[in-house]
Amino acid sequence: MKTFTRSEVARHSAENDIWIIIDASVYDMSRFIDMHPGGAFPILEFAGKDATDAFYGLHKQDVLLKYNRYKIGTIENEQPQINFYQAGDISKVPYAESSFWMGYKSPYFTENHARFRVAVRKILDGLKSEAREIEDSGERPSDEFVQKVGAAGLLAANIGPDAVHGIHLPGGIKPEEYDYFYEMIVHEEFARWACPGLGSGLLGGMTISVPTVINFGKPALKAKVLPLVLSGKKRMCLAITEPYTGSDVANIKTTAKLSSDGSHYIVNGVKKWITTGCFADYFSTAVRTEGGISMLLIERTEGVETKLIKTSSGSSAGTAYVTFENVKVPKENLLGVENQGFKVILSNFNHERYIMLCGASMAARLVVEDCFKWANQRKVFGKRLIDQPVIRNKLAGMIAQVESMHNWLENLTFQMNHMNYDEQSIKMAGPLALCKYQMTRMLHHVSDDACQIFGGRAITKGGMGRNIESLQRTYKFSAILGGSEEIMADLGVRQAMKYFPKGARL
């Protein structure tokens, strides 16, 4: 890169010869001006001048990376004054990371966890640009993209400690060392993409369906299906909800009748709001058998059709209306015991809610970071936003709520690390349900205050307020999916009442 003086840059201020300065770097805008989405005027206004403040008032740093080819040099004897994010960096903005990553002590995290987070962040930062293109287009995540995530060990890592045996994990972490705090990190780092549609299409259906095969599939079925799904070569979803019944699983209408020779089931029925369903090769499906509810793993074959349901999270979620018409399913694809499908269905609710909690916590924290940055750089009526007491008050409320919820989540993660599955089933359903209830209430308040801080940018897709708009548009998914707020609140109290001492009185 060449070096220039500011006076040299100033000479390039004609309409067909435009140089500008952004944080001690020099950019030739001559070829870009006709392509500038905001028209020629904003660039012409700063031709030959320093445009740093104006640029950061309109754009994120990602734009500089995207158009780095127009950089031709730097200003002589000047150093950049703005911290430029590099892949894998841990943010230095207050409360942008949870306390351990900001230099505080933790009873939970180790240096291995820190090394793992940086390694995962580097991988996902490298995929972020492609992820956001998929999110914005609403397209199906490509096989190549999904397999990149699988090759990094990050599909299996999303499912938890039981899924990573034999998997090469980032940061040199051994599978036997992998615990729920490592898993928490994985969910948080994917949430940093701020791509809720893609996140659902890539991970949503998989994380809630694969455990049904891990825990209830026959050895031959596991050997066939798990390597394909965890590598990203095949995709999988959970098909329980129906248009007639919603969450009332006991009243599902999809039937599975055993053939006369007893070799296979014949499945008929429909499912609705099935995350990843449009892309799925396998459907872990709740069906009504002769004596009750059962679970079958159904391959995409003749008689299986899927139609896209458009939702607020975006079409990359692959949310589907699924039709099964005389679908033949081998009896070997039965998950668990016939007529005891409720055990399979209920087995993963705690973990599903845990995944949602981790993603929600980081989504809110990402918004806090953006608001903190914006309040420090945005000037209104001659003052920065951060100089206004009302803005500091909003930030304080957001920070306090995020930190409170995250600390509860860390405690629940610790409990999960020190309980086997049976103990988790007994003790964790209530606390996880109440935490989810309060977490989604927190998202509501944080999203609302963030919108007020960002103004019009908060309701504009893309650009400066991208993360805020995304959260505002989609946070209700966390309040409804995996158990609505009302159901979670009731479940939490009902679980507590199981241990209420009979003789307790005021």
Tokens 């951060």 — which residue?
A: 386
Same domain, 451 and 462: yes
Domain with 157 in it? 99-194
DSSP letter assigned to residue 33: G
Residue 172, Ramachandran bin (φ over 0: left; ψ between -120 and 50: alpha; else beta): left
Place of tokens 């308040």: 445
DSSP-assigned beta bridge partners for residue 267 = 256, 327
Residues 158 and 292 in one domain: no
Distance in angstroms (rounded) separating the CA atoms of residues 67 and 324: 48
Could you give the CA distance from residue 385 to residue 452 in angstroms, rounded to a whole number? Answer: 11
Answer yes or no: is 208 within a domain: no
The CATH number that applies at residue 9 is: 3.10.120.10
Residue 487 phi/psi, 5° resolution? -65, -40
Residue 93 lies in a domain: no
Closest to 255 measured CA to CA, from 288, 284, 297, 296: 288
Q: Domain check: are 70 and 144 in the same one?
A: no
Are the C-beta atoms of residues 284 and 213 closer than 8 Å to each other?
Answer: yes
Phi then psi dihedrals of residue 5, to 5 deg: -90, 160
Question: Per-residue pLDDT tens for 430-482?
Answer: 999 999 999 999 999 999 999 999 999 999 998 899 999 999 999 999 999 99
**Pair (375, 459) in one structural domain:** yes
Number of domains in the chain: 4
pLDDT given at position 430? 97
Q: Look at residues 345, 368, 402 and tell me which one is the last residue of a structural domain.
A: 345
Report pLDDT for 474: 95
Residues 180 and 248 in one domain: no
Between the CA atoms of 337, 340, 345 and 351, what dihedral angle is there, to the nearest 10 degrees? -70
Query: Does residue 244 lie within any of the structural domains?
Result: yes
- Looking at residue 168, what is its pLDDT? 96
Q: Both 385 and 356 in a single domain?
A: yes
Q: Does residue 62 sit within a domain?
A: yes
CA-to-CA dists, residue 341 to 96, 191, 252, 282, 289, angstroms: 42, 31, 12, 17, 10
On whether both 273 and 258 belong to a single domain, the answer is: yes
Q: What is the pLDDT along the chain (506 residues), one digit of tens a residue?
A: 899 999 999 999 988 899 999 999 999 999 888 888 888 888 889 999 999 988 988 888 888 888 889 999 999 999 998 888 888 999 999 999 999 999 999 999 999 999 999 999 999 999 999 999 999 999 999 999 999 999 999 999 999 999 999 999 999 999 999 999 999 999 999 999 999 999 999 999 999 999 999 999 999 999 999 999 999 999 999 999 999 887 788 899 999 999 999 999 999 999 999 999 999 999 999 999 999 999 999 999 999 999 999 999 999 999 999 999 999 999 999 999 999 999 999 999 999 999 999 999 999 999 999 999 999 999 889 899 999 999 999 999 999 999 999 999 999 999 999 999 999 999 999 999 999 999 999 999 999 999 999 999 999 998 899 999 999 999 999 999 999 999 999 999 999 999 999 999 99
Q: How far apart are CA 180 and CA 200, in angstroms?
A: 20
- Spatial CA neighbour of 247 closest among 498, 502, 492, 487: 487
In this prediction, residue 153 carries a pLDDT of 97
Listed residue (238, 321, 332) closest to 287, CA to CA: 238
Residue 108 lies in a domain: yes
Of 143, 172, 194, which residue sits at a domain end? 194
DSSP notation for 309-332: ---TT-GGG--EEEEEEEEEEEGG
| Alpha-carbon span 93 to 90, nearest angstrom | 9
CATH number at residue 265: 2.40.110.10
Same domain? For 354 and 468 the reply is yes
* Beta-sheet strands, E only, within 30-149: 71-75
Hey, what are 181's tokens?
Answer: 């705090």
Give the pLDDT score at 83. 85
Contacts 24+ apart (CB under 8 A), 417-421: 417/179, 417/180, 417/181
Structure token digits, residue 265: 């089931």
User: Both 272 and 380 in a single domain?
Assistant: no
In a domain, 230, yes or no: no
Q: Which residues contact 158 (CB under 8 A, 6 or more apart)?
A: 183, 186, 187, 190, 203, 206, 207, 355
Asked, for residue 225, whether it belongs to a domain, the answer is: no
Q: 439-464 as b/e, with b when 16 or more CB fall inside 10 Å?
A: bbebbbebbebbbebbbebbeeeeeb
- Whether 478 is covered by a domain: the verdict is yes
Q: Which of 144, 173, 194 is the last residue of a domain?
A: 194
The DSSP string of 410-425 is HHHHHHHHTS-HHHHH
- Same domain for 391 and 333: no
Residues 132 and 143 in one domain: yes
Tens of pLDDT, residues 259-286: 999 999 999 999 999 999 999 999 999 9
Q: State the burial class of residue 191 (Cβ atoms within 10 Å of its Cβ: 0-12, 13-18, 19+).
A: buried
Q: Cα separation of 243 and 477, whole Å? A: 18
Question: Are residues 57 and 142 both part of a single domain?
Answer: no
pTM: 0.93
CB atoms within 10 A of CB 276: 28
